[in-house]
A and B are shown apart, each in its own frame.
Chain A
């Protein structure tokens, strides 16, 4: 599972992406738990970050599998 970080999340984690190898698919809660263990500084952003799975915003009940590309989307500011 590839995790992508954007904008200020790159500064919080010190990297633009990370690999996770969960033994089974994770729901959003479990995914956050994994990520916060690895990158505790993400905690401050949790409330404002939306998750995307394979280039689409993930529904609250989405599950994330080993082959998925998961993006952490902080509040956007394009235009």
Chain B
């Protein structure tokens, strides 16, 4: 039997056909399970489903295969939607093809019974609300980004990124109080628990009347201040004094601006009629059940405020990361020292620390001497031991021999090297390694009591600062996104505001640029040793292999670095 299984966060298509490879089948039986408007005797607006996707797909396949023996069918297609599903929309679709209807009907019936017993999918919660008014205007869709997201098509850069993304898994999520969640990655989509605003609210100081009340004179029957909640039905000819922001006493009202009426004791007379309703309608900002902040989003001040407004006081977020960063090489001296001839000041330590600021993390930094044996000794007698860590970064020195140093050190620490070169400039000698837990490092550096996280990642970064900058934004950021469950940064399209004057190069190039209102300005840059362009860089332009000079006005792909 041909089997197709999908778990999808989006709506399930209206029309689904049997697999074309079957040709004409005798029966194509379709079933759609739809979200009911009542759940446990409550009126609801949506159901939120959760799945253990790998196992769910496996269980569905197992059930179908065993039923296929009992009821010979040609094909089965199962699509289960997960996440928030509004009332009336399809939660599960099953299509079964067979030569005659009997087998398909029998298989479908047994399949649904077994699915409800064994497949790890859950109705996580019902989003319940009062019915929403029919005349609610539809919400405007979110504005589209002017720069279209685009995945880099270049193979070797793609390959390196794919390798990084295929290793490891997001660290276990934790619940954190809002005050401690700033900058963390949200790991569970938070939906609006109720309509915002939760009822019609006045946007003016004035008088509420029935929307189609044609009276000229009204009796003022009540006064409402901003925090008042006094529901009542208005009759024609009645008005309620409203303060700006106050909740209207019932639905289908409008607010007359106080400037447009004359008041005489308990009565008002309209002096000017206008079309505006002067109110914020219930659910105008967001309706109950709609996603407020999606999983994978970085929690900035605005999003945290939104979570607070939704009553999500302990969001599920990625934990604080622990990062160890070693610099290497005898030619490196601290910034406050004067380098002797042949030496340079260490700018990479502060660069890495700065770049890591975007991710909540604890960073431990140390300098390793160039002699491998001494370095190993230092690493194993580390006197500022973190209990454990998630990411190891080693900055190669600019001196001779550093390339041979990082790799053996990583291997000695128990890392498996996944790749050690990427065909890009700057940043070609990039090393990426992973380790599964038990390693020399785990026992010697970390101590054996702390449970190790399942996978750690390590990068050997080529020595100069610009290579660090490029490799961090391309590769380390991808690893951090993987570990935290963040939406990965993506290349976008933009236009050159000036010519990018570069002869054809056999490597893909990440060209430093300044992104401004007029487009992308390529910055002066001749070799990976140049550092002054770091002052202005806020984007990296991707230049394909052998592309050569690119004229001003040409559309290019770039990665934002600010």
Contacts and interface: CB of A to CB of B under 8 A. Distances in A.
Contact of B454 (A19, A74, A76): A19
B150 interface: no
Interface of A: 2, 4, 6-7, 10, 14-21, 52, 55-57, 66-67, 71, 73-74, 76-79
A78 B55 contact: no
Interface in B94-122: 112, 115-122
Nearest to B453: A19
5 contacts: A2-B454, A55-B52, A55-B55, A71-B120, A77-B116
A62 to B, nearest CB: 15
A52 B52 CA distance: 11
B187 interface: yes
Contacts, number: 85
Interface residues on B, range: 35 or more
Contact of B52 (A6, A21, A67): A6
B91 A20 contact: no
Contact of B172 (A17, A21, A66): A17
B161 to A, nearest CB: 24
A77 B92 CA distance: 12
Interface string B171-186: 0111100000000000
B58 interface: yes
Contact of B33 (A14, A16, A67, A79): A79
Contacts of A17: 172-173
Nearest to B449: A21
Given A55-B55, A77-B116, 4 more contacts: A7-B122, A19-B172, A55-B54, A77-B123
Nearest to B58: A55
A4 B120 CA distance: 12
B82 to A, nearest CB: 9
A56 B62 CA distance: 10
Nearest to B49: A78
B236 interface: no
Nearest to A18: B172
Grouping DSSP codes into helix (H, G, I), strand (E, B) and loop, the B interface class, with mixed when no group exceeds half, is mixed
Nearest to B119: A78
B12 to A, nearest CB: 13
Contacts of B55: 52, 55-56, 71
B51 interface: yes
Interface of B: 33, 49-52, 54-56, 58, 80, 91-92, 112, 115-124, 172-175, 187-188, 314, 316, 436-437, 451-454
A51 B453 CA distance: 21
Given A4-B52, A6-B50, A19-B453, A79 B120 contact: no
Contact of A56 (B58, B121, B454): B58
B398 to A, nearest CB: 38
B175 A73 contact: no
Nearest to B123: A77
A66 to B, nearest CB: 8
Contacts of A7: 50, 122, 124
A55 B59 CA distance: 8
Contacts of A77: 116, 121-123
A19 B122 contact: no
A63 B56 CA distance: 22
Nearest to A4: B52
B115 A78 contact: yes
A2 B437 CA distance: 12
A10 B188 CA distance: 11
Nearest to B454: A2
A16 B316 contact: yes
Most buried by A among B80, B122, B451: B122
B284 to A, nearest CB: 31
Among all A-B residue pairs, the 6 with the closest Cβ atoms: A78-B121, A21-B451, A7-B122, A55-B55, A17-B172, A77-B123
